Amino acid sequence: MHQSEVLGKAMRILIIGAGYVGLSMGVILAEKHDVLLLEMDPSKVESINKGQSPIFEDKIAELLQNAIQSGRLKAQSPEGPLGYRDVVMVCVGTPSREDGSVNLSYVDDAMKLLFERVDEFCDNYTAVGIKSTVPPGTTKTLVLDKIEKGHFTDRLGAFFNPEFLREGTAIEDAKNPDRIIIGASNEKAASLVQRMYMESLGNKADNILTMSLESGELCKYVSNSFLATKISFANEIANITERIPGADFDSVVKGMAADSRICGKFFGSGAGYGGSCFPKDVSGLIMLAKNDLNVATHILQAAQRVNAERPQRILDFLKEHVSDIKGKKIAVLGIAFKPGTDDIRESPALKVMKQLSDNGANVWAHDPLLSRMEISEDIKNQINLTESINECLKNSDACILMTEWKEYIDMGLEAITDTMSNKLLIDGRRAFVNRDIPSGITYRAIGRPN
């Protein structure tokens, strides 16, 4: 049957893992398709089925409520009935091990579940694939090889479909993708995944690129690693700019980006990258190259080193003005690794706060989404966490801005420093760099000469 002949028909989608990626994709696909989410955490299952999102993400609450009310989306535990499905996507976590390599145990568990229940979800032909970020060769090993070993080639096809969702704008990114990449074992599997997106996104799914499984897997790693490298490059240039009186980082970047060969996006300097993707994916690619391919990764390792140095750069700024921070109250504004999310994984703010505490500072921290954050007991024992920004700032000897939340920017420098004992603000995100600095306030920013 030709692709155009089946467009307009809802498909049956199974998503394993109702975390950040799985739930975001689930609510969008449920606008056109029948979606079942499998989730191990009973509290998440209950929350989703009540129309309450367990994750913080712009626009997801309304989409989830609509999907549940329409009956097109449902969450359940893995033990429940699967029903026949056209496409199955695995969206479970692939965390880093201590050495930086990728832990694939959750993907492996999901695949074991599926291949034990093929007859339950496959009535004709089903595309089974991975959306989690995995090293090249994983989909072949964990999906395609099992299809061939089980003699399911006439019933199942393998695919890899990477996600390119930015936390805070995941829904917008999913609805308006720059590109959709489908690595597939055959044309039939690719066609099913392509149809799923074309039906869901319409003409916004124009830029669909099909390729091999391994190319799709590598493309995800390379994309995130390149963006991380751009950030580290920008931070290294910011270090140089800080030492040149009269130089302006924004002007330098603007002049550079005017070259048609250079894209100016992601050249922002600051306290470094964090979150669930960039640190993990850079490490994953480095370890793959080292352990499996015997390939040197000088640029990637340099990008990693530059990023690891950023928290110390913030402390260097502080110590230029407060020589001995022992016993001093230091206020930290923002714990999330970026605004618009409650994600604190690999957040530079956590690293800065730890170094402050290790140096004997009395650290107070505020974040607009503090109540939603999963903060370890170690951090809670070291840091004074407060939901009151006034309590955080009052009588502080310095303030370090680590997340450029709109709440902080709207306050302005005068309001932020009003009750501080020492009106010193270290801007780790350049949020106020283009504003006039009121007299009496000492302002230091990444990439800005003193």
In the predicted model, what is the mean pLDDT of residues 209-224?
Answer: 97
Query: What was the pLDDT predicted at 2?
Result: 41
Does the pLDDT at position 221 exceed 80? Answer: yes
How confident is residue 5, by pLDDT bands cut at 50, 70 and 90? very low
Query: What was the pLDDT predicted at 323?
Result: 87
pLDDT tens for each residue of 432-442? 999 999 999 99
pLDDT tens for each residue of 352-384? 999 999 999 999 999 999 999 999 999 999 999
Query: What was the pLDDT predicted at 279?
Result: 95
Query: What was the pLDDT predicted at 268?
Result: 85
Query: What was the pLDDT predicted at 266?
Result: 83
Angle between helix axes 278-288 and 298-321 (nearest 10 degrees) is: 140
Does the pLDDT at position 262 exceed 70? Answer: yes
pLDDT tens for each residue of 145-186? 999 999 999 999 999 999 999 988 999 999 999 999 999 999
Tokens of 345: 């994984």
Report the chain's mean pLDDT, rounded to a whole number: 94
Give the helix ranges, DSSP H, for 161-257. Answer: 170-175, 187-201, 213-242, 249-257
What domains sit in the chain, N to C, each tagged with a CATH number? 3-211 (3.40.50.720), 302-445 (3.40.50.720)
Query: What was the pLDDT predicted at 3?
Result: 45
Map tokens 């140096």 to a residue. Answer: 359
Does the pLDDT at position 15 exceed 80? Answer: yes
pLDDT tens for each residue of 272-320? 999 989 999 999 999 999 999 999 999 999 999 999 999 999 999 999 9
pLDDT tens for each residue of 386-401? 999 999 999 999 999 9
How confident is residue 4, by pLDDT bands cut at 50, 70 and 90? very low
Query: What was the pLDDT predicted at 7?
Result: 59
Does the pLDDT at position 127 exceed 90? Answer: yes
pLDDT tens for each residue of 185-194? 999 999 999 9
Does the pLDDT at position 106 exceed 50? Answer: yes
Query: What was the pLDDT predicted at 204?
Result: 84
Contact by Cβ (8 Å): 202, 31: no
Please state the φ and ψ torsions of residue 350, each to the nearest 5 degrees: -60, -40
Of 184, 178, 232, nearest to 206 by C-alpha is 178
Map tokens 């090993």 to a residue. Answer: 141
Map tokens 């039906």 to a residue. Answer: 199
Contact by Cβ (8 Å): 401, 427: yes
Does the pLDDT at position 267 exceed 90? Answer: no
How confident is residue 1, by pLDDT bands cut at 50, 70 and 90? very low
Which amino acids are annotated catalytic?
Answer: 277
Query: What was the pLDDT predicted at 8?
Result: 67
Query: What was the pLDDT predicted at 6?
Result: 55
